[in-house]
Amino acid sequence: MRKRPLGKTTLQVSELALGTWGLSGDGYGPISSVEVDRVIDRALAVGIDLFDTADVYGRGEMERCLGKRLQGAGATFVVTKIGTDLDELPPKKRFDPAHLRTAFERSQERLARDVVDVVLLHNPTVAAMRSKEPLDFLKELKQAGKIRAFGVSAGSADVARAALRDEVDVIELAYNALLPGDLHEVAGDVSESGAGVLARSVLAHGLLAGHWSPDRDFYPDDHRAQRWTRDEFKTRLRQLDALRPLVTGNVVSLRAAALRFVLANHLVSSAVLGPRSVAQLDQLVREAGMPPYLRDTALTDLSARLKNLGVTT
């Protein structure tokens, strides 16, 4: 497993990370606890040392599970996210220091770590980012030695830009071949600030694996049931055509092309994977391959093809 620096932090992390939203049973529907443990163990066995989670995943159960599973597993790094008040029904976004302090202490306990490696604000709005208080609170945690690095998991380029201007150590954002625009928009700010970048939703929630038919349905408790209208879904499937020419030589599948697209970007510190089984994890690790992930010329042509199919690059 190759490593990359996590931006200006001193951490060297595996360039593939294990994301745990899908393993929590939230978002994509139920999953057996046996398979969850197997996926985490398999990630460790293949050399993944970076684990992405949040206090909301399984209402804290995912952090608790990582806390147990990673104990005694050697040097591993955990990224967690806070900023949702789970005591409210429905849960409410909160970034005031009083809430963040309680949330952090609970996460720290569930993760069973004296020092949490990376803590991110979980999807703040641009309005929430106008207050200095949330990031100042995380800076204080860092100064007190309770966390190693801090930052923001951003749902838009505007939020990511605001975070980078506030000199965060790390940003996390969606970055994939059909949604390259947010990272491309803030690429200059990332380079200037030296922040680490965690790229999530590398497969666009599974779409980029290229296995879906136009009439695919999702179970009601799967977030993908609400994500696209049928017409948007069909448009998305058509846009996959832009990626098909990348499947050549040692790029053996659309899934491989999608993953390699992310790894080919030197701004990315780690690609946060979302496998829901050991088989899916193994496929991703195998197909990631080695640098050079994609030919430079392949990327130039890709950009033009994506634009033709209406993807903002």
Ligand X SMILES: NC(=O)c1ccc[n+]([C@@H]2O[C@H](COP(=O)([O-])OP(=O)(O)OC[C@H]3O[C@@H](n4cnc5c(N)ncnc54)[C@H](OP(=O)(O)O)[C@@H]3O)[C@@H](O)[C@H]2O)c1
Interacting residues toward ligand X by CB under 6 A? 19-22, 28, 52, 81, 122-123, 153, 172, 200-206, 209, 255, 272-276, 280, 283-284
For residue 310, the minimal CB distance to ligand X (Å) is 20
Q: CA–CA separation, 297 vs 287, rounded Å?
A: 20
Residue 171, strand partner residues: 152, 197
For residue 189, the minimal CB distance to ligand X (Å) is 19
For residue 307, the minimal CB distance to ligand X (Å) is 22
Q: Which is nearer to ligand X, 260 or 304 (CB)?
A: 260
Residue tagged 């200037």 (tokens): 192
Question: What is the maximum span of the chain, computed from C-alpha positions, in angstroms?
Answer: 54
Q: Which is nearer to ligand X, 193 or 283 (CB)?
A: 283
Q: Which is nearer to ligand X, 46 or 297 (CB)?
A: 46
Name residue 152's amino acid. Answer: V
Q: Which is nearer to ligand X, 108 or 283 (CB)?
A: 283
- C-alpha pair distances (Å), 72 with each of 23, 24, 30, 66, 113: 21, 22, 28, 11, 12
97-111 vs 61-69: helix crossing angle, rounded to 10 = 40
For residue 137, the minimal CB distance to ligand X (Å) is 18
For residue 172, the minimal CB distance to ligand X (Å) is 5
Residue 81, strand partner residues: 120
Residue 138: which residues within 8 A CB-CB, separation 6 or more? 100, 119, 121, 147, 150, 151
Q: Which is nearer to ligand X, 223 or 295 (CB)?
A: 223
The answer to whether 153 touches 120, Cβ cutoff 8 Å, is yes
For residue 281, the minimal CB distance to ligand X (Å) is 7
Nearest to 134 by CA among 76, 169, 94: 94
Give the single-character DSSP code of 235: H
For residue 128, the minimal CB distance to ligand X (Å) is 14
Nearest to 210 by CA among 238, 251, 174: 238
Q: Which residue's CB atom is positioned nearest to ligand X?
A: 19
Q: Which is nearer to ligand X, 107 or 283 (CB)?
A: 283
Which tokens belong to 86? 């789970």
Q: Which is nearer to ligand X, 19 or 99 (CB)?
A: 19
Q: CA–CA separation, 137 vs 102, rounded Å?
A: 12
